[in-house]
A and B are shown apart, each in its own frame.
Chain A
């Protein structure tokens, strides 16, 4: 029966059925053949989605899009360029910096990558960066959005693993997120210098802004992460409320300060964010059917026991789990990974007494790497569509970023304090 669950899922998945539908049908098939009662199908879907913490997901998606459309991303780019200056590799470093700051507003990798790619790729091309390199670095840097709080992945992980609270996870993601960004800067700077990227004269008449001018323009964007994170830290807002405050702050900046938004563009943003949220949330609700069927059968415990049985050596199991997640990340999206893997990794976490917050960070880092590693690289798909190139062309560059971020991930794996120091200092860990 357990086999049926995974066989049906994998079969439908590779036939090109949407992932959520594949999980839902696999769960339904098992519920039917194991005679678990088909009424659990609508119940699982309904209770799977009707959860208060999940409300934060569509609102953070909307907030990210509003900050993109209102021109905050553009002004952050100008500011970042003013900081790093026009030198070889300068724009690549600026792209990473902007991705990290925007990651402090939006909680989704593809949204972050899309915002930065739209603004930066034309300028990077003019400065002499190849399209494939630009698309690759922005896809990779965009993935830090799910590590730097707020993060949709952490919200979902906390729903699945209630022992790890959202504030603790958000705090724990901060240093690994910055570490991942720094790790990406090294190869992108070195590659730029070696290949002479960004050395071209910028005689295209673009207005050069001074540092202070750029800073004054960008301050509204720079304040947003402070507002969101500060509000949550001080206990003023729940994550959902922080997301809503970000939405209205973004609307204020776009309508009043920059005057870049109008009612038409607000409607477009609402539609767009509703559709993107629909895609994410549908997977969550249908994955609940899969998860319910799997846990009722005991399929997940069996798999967990199998993993524990690999070796009595904790480190070997940890590396096996990491490898598994890394490979899964290359094929599946974040939500599917969480719903398929967390249920059977939980017994493993308990067995070795791993810290659930730290494990959530490792999980998110693996998901982040998967977001820009082909074949299923959701960030790369977005940036390549914007750049108008094929994903295959980016592979030689992406391998460098894969190596860099994997190194950061292994550091956090073997030095758990990198993740746990901040939440411990803030008193979020028991």
Chain B
């Protein structure tokens, strides 16, 4: 699907997402092995796996945005004349920025609450903000990526 000479965008996010996926599998598999071999369980790592799921979601979304692979309905848009299509592209772009911008800002306030009230996680007992802070950080990353994509699109007209 991708021509080999073509450098794929968002390389770092891609590598990190792959790392998340690998780590998720290894933790879960280790869990199965340990349970059958020793009768012990480290099910408390569940909360970490679930946190990896969040990171995986947002990182995977970055590369899906970069490659335009998010599920959208383009049936109507494609039938529009050119100005209409450009308007819709603008709406799409602004909607994406708005949503992840809001997530970054309110996610930051959520993490700040966890930090100020010293909430600890139920399983491992670590500060909850270690987990929650990644929602605003990665949302902000998506906003940055969307901005960069707009700039590179301007430079190379399709």
Contacts and interface: CB of A to CB of B under 8 A. Distances in A.
The answer to whether A and B interact is: yes
Interface of A: 12-22, 24-25, 28, 38-39, 41-43, 45-46, 49-52, 54-55, 58-59, 62, 237, 240-241, 244-245, 247-248, 267, 270-271, 273-279, 281-283, 285-286, 331, 333, 336, 375-376, 378, 385
A362 B15 CA distance: 39
Contacts of A376: 73, 75
Contact of A271 (B17, B51, B73, B110): B17
B56 A281 contact: yes
B143 interface: no
Contact of B71 (A14, A275, A277, A279): A279
B25 A62 contact: yes
Interface of B: 1, 14-15, 17-22, 24-25, 28-29, 31-32, 46, 49-51, 53-54, 56-64, 67, 69-77, 88-89, 91-92, 95-96, 98-99, 102-103, 106-107, 109-110, 132, 135-136
A24 B99 contact: yes
Closest 4 CB pairs of A and B: A278-B60, A274-B17, A270-B18, A18-B70
B50 A50 contact: yes
Given A41-B106, A282-B61, A16 B135 contact: no
B95 A278 contact: no
Contact of B109 (A39, A45, A52, A281): A39
A18 B14 contact: no
A141 B103 CA distance: 39
A247 B25 contact: yes
Contacts of A285: 54, 57
B99 A286 contact: yes
A244 B25 contact: yes
B32 A46 contact: no
A278 B50 contact: no
B54 A46 contact: yes
A283 B71 contact: yes
B109 A12 contact: no
A241 B28 contact: yes
B61 A16 contact: no
17 contacts: A12-B91, A16-B74, A16-B92, A18-B92, A21-B70, A41-B106, A50-B50, A59-B28, A62-B25, A244-B28, A274-B60, A275-B63, A278-B58, A278-B61, A281-B53, A282-B64, A285-B54
Nearest to A19: B71
B24 A49 contact: no
Nearest to A63: B25
Given A17-B95, A28-B99, A50-B51, A55 B17 contact: no
A390 to B, nearest CB: 12
Nearest to A43: B110
Nearest to B87: A15
Given A16-B89, A18-B71, A282-B61, A277 B56 contact: yes
A50 B28 CA distance: 15
B72 A55 contact: no
A349 B132 CA distance: 36
A21 B25 CA distance: 28
Contact of B96 (A17, A39, A275): A17
Contacts of B1: 385
A378 B132 CA distance: 33
Given A52-B46, A237-B32, A275-B60, 9 more contacts: A16-B74, A52-B50, A55-B53, A58-B24, A274-B20, A275-B63, A275-B67, A277-B60, A281-B60
Contacts of B24: 55, 58-59
A62 B70 CA distance: 18
B49 to A, nearest CB: 6
